[in-house]
Amino acid sequence: MRQLTSYFINTRVYSVLVLAFLVTGLAYHLFYPYDLICLKVNAIHHPTADLIFRNITQLGDGVFVVLLGLALWIFHREEGKVILLGYLLSSIVTSIMKGMIFKKTPRPIEHFWQEVPNLHLVDGIKIHHWDSFPSGHTTSIFLVCSILSWYYRSTYFQWFWFLLAWVTGFSRIYLFQHFLRDVLAGAFIGWVTAAFLLSGKFLKNSSEEAT
């Protein structure tokens, strides 16, 4: 427990921002239907936003995360190793949740297509229909940013890591791939996975290398 606390203390700016995001998102669910935000975001689409979110969502893609982990392993062995291991562990968790516990959970397009006409779908994005909970892309980007916030932990960096993770998570809602609850769950899984990894086996070595 003491070691886990060490992670949150040393990444307190980032961790407070993530916690605030999670609490705010959960509070939203107490007062509004879980699917409402998808329609509101879908209604304010713009070609420039389409281009931005279509590309930034790739930061949460498994291929990008693995390549990033391998690249960092070459230059900064510890970061790459933790990212790769964290991705493996978090992928197992999300796969079990998607494929077994919450199997066939409808995604926004499946949920709305018969009820809401003229939904905006971004060109170049393959829309998935099932296995919505949790968001795998959000899990991955929050995992990566939560790890990097430990190694590069200045206040400016911690703000940057959070905003990068948040925007990538938001892209999943904008692109009509996930509900807010899926993004919140993914953010929590990625954040907690990174915290446990860095508070355990890797804590001593990573403390020496953090900047």
Tokens encoding 164: 């990068």
Answer for the pair 11, 150: CB distance below 8 angstroms, yes or no: yes
Mean pLDDT of 87-106: 96
- Checking if the pLDDT of 4 tops 80, the result is no
**Rounded-to-integer distance, Cα 73 and Cα 83, Å:** 9
The structural domains of the chain, ordered by start, are: 2-209 (1.20.144)
Per-residue pLDDT at 5 exceeds 90: no
130: CB partners within 8 A, 6+ apart: 104, 105, 106, 107, 110
pLDDT of residue 207: 47
Is the pLDDT confidence value at 15 over 50?
A: yes
Q: What is the pLDDT of residues 155-169, one digit of tens each?
A: 999 999 999 999 999
Q: How many CB atoms lie within 10 A of CB 192?
A: 17
Give tens-digit pLDDT for 176-206: 999 999 999 999 999 999 999 998 755 555 4
State yes or no: pLDDT of 208 exceeds 90: no
The set of residues, in sequence order, having a beta carbon less than 8 Å from that of 194 and lying 6+ positions away, is 7, 82, 86, 142, 143, 146, 147, 150
How much is the average pLDDT of 130-153? 97
Residue 119's pLDDT is what? 93
What's this model's pTM, rounded to 2 decimal places? 0.93
As a whole number, mean pLDDT of residues 83-107 equals 96
Q: DSSP class of residue 106?
A: P
**Spatial CA neighbour of 66 closest among 135, 132, 144:** 144
